[in-house]
Amino acid sequence: MASATGMTRAPFLLQMARDLDVTLVLVSHLLSVTAVTWGITAFFTGPLGAAFGRRRVLMAGQIVLGLSMIGIALSQHYWQAVVCVAIGGSACGAYMGSVFGEVADRVADSMRGRAMGWVIGGQSLALLLGVPAASWIGSVVGWRGVSAIIAVSAFAVAVATRLVFPGTPARALGAAGAPGVGAALKPRILAVLGASITERTCFGLVATFFATYLQLAHGFGLAELVVPLALVAGGNFLGNMIGGRMADAVPDRRALYAVSAVGTGAVAIALFVAAPGAIAAIGLATLYGLVNGISRPALISLLSGVPAEIRGTVLGINITCASVGWVTSAIVGGMLAAAGDWPTLGWVVAVLGVAGAGLGMLGRR
pLDDT beyond 90 at 350: yes
pTM: 0.76
Q: What average pLDDT does the chain have?
A: 84
pLDDT, greater one: 77 or 42: 77
Cβ neighbour number for residue 320 with a 10 Å cutoff:
23
Integer Cα distance of 242 and 233 in angstroms: 14
pLDDT at site 180: 57
The phi and psi torsions of 75 (rounded to 5 degrees) equal -65, 135
Identical fold, 4-164 and 183-362: yes
Segment 169-175 long-range contacts (CB within 8 Å, at least 24 positions apart):
169/53, 170/50, 170/51, 170/52, 170/53, 170/56, 171/50, 171/51, 172/51, 173/47, 173/50, 173/51
pLDDT at site 201: 93
pLDDT digits (tens, 9 = 90+) for 10-61: 667 778 888 888 887 787 778 778 888 888 888 787 777 777 778 888 899 8
What residues contact residue 229 under an 8 Å CB cut-off, 6+ apart? Answer: 127, 131, 210, 211
The region of weakest confidence among 38-47, 70-79, 172-181, 289-298 is 172-181
Residue burial 163-189, b: 16+ Cβ < 10 Å; e: rest: eebeebeeeeeeeeebbbbeebeeeeb
pLDDT beyond 50 at 173: no
Integer Cα distance of 307 and 300 in angstroms: 14
pLDDT at site 291: 95
What's the angle, vertex CA 74, arms to CA 319 and CA 323, rounded to 5? 10
pLDDT beyond 80 at 9: no
Integer Cα distance of 97 and 83 in angstroms: 21
pLDDT beyond 70 at 232: yes
pLDDT, greater one: 85 or 178: 85
pLDDT beyond 80 at 346: yes
pLDDT at site 119: 84
Which band of pLDDT confidence, cut at 50, 70 and 90, is reported for residue 70? very high
Which of 1.20.1250.20, 3.30.2310.20, 3.30.565.60, 1.10.1040.10 is the CATH number of 4-164? 1.20.1250.20
pLDDT at site 175: 39
Integer Cα distance of 102 and 308 in angstroms: 11
pLDDT at site 143: 85
pLDDT digits (tens, 9 = 90+) for 122-156: 877 777 777 777 777 887 888 899 899 999 999 99
What is the longest distance spanned by two Cα atoms in the chain?
Answer: 60
Integer Cα distance of 120 and 111 in angstroms: 15
What residues contact residue 174 under an 8 Å CB cut-off, 6+ apart? Answer: none
pLDDT at site 272: 94
Which residue ranges make up each domain of the chain? Answer: 4-164, 183-362
Fill in the DSSP letter of residue 178.
Answer: S
pLDDT, greater one: 173 or 338: 338
Integer Cα distance of 178 and 50 in angstroms: 9
The region of weakest confidence among 45-54, 97-106, 179-188, 333-342 is 179-188
Class of domain 183-362 (CATH, top level): mainly alpha
Residue 75: strand, helix, or coil: coil
- Closest CA relative to residue 202, chosen from 318, 343, 352: 352
Mean pLDDT of 236-241: 89
pLDDT digits (tens, 9 = 90+) for 243-282: 989 988 888 889 999 999 999 999 999 999 998 899 999 9
pLDDT at site 172: 44
Rg (CA), the chain: 20
In this structure, the dihedral spanned by the alpha carbons of residues 56, 57, 58 and 62, taken in order and rounded to 10 degrees, is 100
pLDDT beyond 60 at 365: no
Q: How much of the chain exceeds pLDDT 90, in percent?
A: 29
